[in-house]
């Protein structure tokens, strides 16, 4: 079956702009979480959604927001982009939160470059 799909794969924005990233989880998966990967920082947790509700939020400013739709697809938005927002944004899904051993299924990510 299809894996986690993220769009767009690559995008370039300028400072001050806003961006919306999309994630379609594996069919049947209802839990979606987002992570930011930057060099030297590893993966940092952004948000977690289940049944259209945000369950957890990481330590990021309010410029970072997200939502989940009734079909479990999720979007995240970053407003007033800063140079430091350049990163790989990864979406991960699972059937339900904390499924099994905590294994998450990741998409290939959206590479955002802010100029």
Q: Which residue has the tokens 């993220």?
A: 6
Backbone angles phi, psi at 85, to 5 degrees: -80, -5
Q: How far is the CB of 16 from another protein (least distance, A)?
A: 29
Contact 59, 47 (CB under 8 A): no
* Binding residues among 6-65 for another protein as defined by CB under 8 A: 31, 33, 35, 40-45, 48, 55-56, 58
Q: Is 90 in the site for another protein (CB under 8 A)?
A: yes
74 strand-pairing partners: 23, 68
By CB under 8 A, name the binding residues for another protein: 4, 31, 33, 35, 40-45, 48, 55-56, 58, 90, 92, 94, 96-99, 101-109
């Amino acid at each position: 079956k299809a894996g986690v799909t993220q769009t767009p794969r690559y995008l370039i924005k300028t400072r001050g702009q806003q961006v919306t990233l999309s994630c379609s989880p594996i069919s049947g998966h209802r839990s979606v979480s987002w992570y930011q990967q930057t060099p030297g920082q590893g993966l940092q947790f952004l948000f977690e959604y289940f049944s259209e509700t945000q369950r957890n939020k990481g330590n990021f400013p309010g410029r970072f927001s997200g939502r989940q739709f009734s079909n479990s697809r999720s979007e995240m938005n970053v407003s007033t982009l800063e140079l430091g927002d350049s990163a790989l944004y990864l979406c991960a899904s699972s059937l339900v939160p904390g499924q099994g051993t905590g294994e998450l299924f990741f998409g290939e990510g959206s590479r955002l470059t802010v100029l």
